C-alpha cells in the first residue's frame, strides 16, 4: 500500500502573469522551485486563495531571480495578476516512508521572495498512540 502525502509547497505566491495562449502549465522562477524541492515538469496542484479555484498542472522553470508565477493555457482563466496561490506537490510513499517524511514549506513575501523555509517535525503515529 502507498499513501499520497503532501511533499512540498510554495505558500501564497502572487501571480505575476496569466498567458491564455501558451500551451499550458505554470511557469515558476527556477529559484522558487529549487527552494521548495519541486522539480521542473513535476505535477502540482495550484490553489487560488482569492477565488477558491483548484487545478492540477505541471511546472515549467522560469528565469532565475525573475520571481515569475505565470498560469498558462486554460489555467490562465482561473487566476488574475496579483492573486495569491499555493503550489503543492505530493508524493506516493509507503507507510514507513510517510512516518519519517517531513514536507518542505516555502513562505514568500509580496514580491515572491522566499522569507522562510520550514520542514516541520512530524510526530510518528506510534508516539501519538502511546500518549507521547
User: Exposure of 42 by Cβ count < 10 A (0-12 exposed, 13-18 middle, 19+ buried)?
Assistant: middle
- What cell does 29 get? 522562477
Q: Which of 22, 58, 90, 121 is catalytic?
A: 58
> For this structure, is 66 an active site residue?
no
User: Exposure of 9 by Cβ count < 10 A (0-12 exposed, 13-18 middle, 19+ buried)?
Assistant: buried
Q: Which of 21, 25, 36, 41 is catalytic?
A: 25
In angstroms, the CA 92 to CA 45 distance is: 15
As annotated, the active-site residues are: 25, 58
Amino acid at each position: 500500500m502507498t499513501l499520497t502525502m503532501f511533499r512540498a509547497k510554495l505558500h501564497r505566491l502572487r501571480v505575476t502573469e496569466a498567458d491564455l495562449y501558451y500551451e499550458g502549465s505554470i511557469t515558476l522562477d527556477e529559484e522558487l522551485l529549487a527552494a521548495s524541492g519541486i522539480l521542473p515538469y513535476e505535477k502540482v496542484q495550484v490553489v487560488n486563495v482569492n477565488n477558491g479555484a483548484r487545478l492540477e498542472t505541471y511546472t515549467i522553470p522560469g528565469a532565475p531571480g525573475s520571481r515569475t508565477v505565470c498560469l498558462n493555457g486554460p489555467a490562465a482563466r482561473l487566476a488574475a495578476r496579483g492573486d495569491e496561490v499555493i503550489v503543492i506537490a505530493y508524493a506516493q510513499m509507503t507507510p514507513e516512508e510517510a512516518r519519517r517524511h517531513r514536507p518542505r514549506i516555502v513562505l514568500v513575501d509580496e514580491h515572491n521572495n522566499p522569507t522562510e523555509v520550514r520542514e516541520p517535525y512530524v510526530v510518528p503515529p506510534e508516539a501519538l498512540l502511546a500518549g507521547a
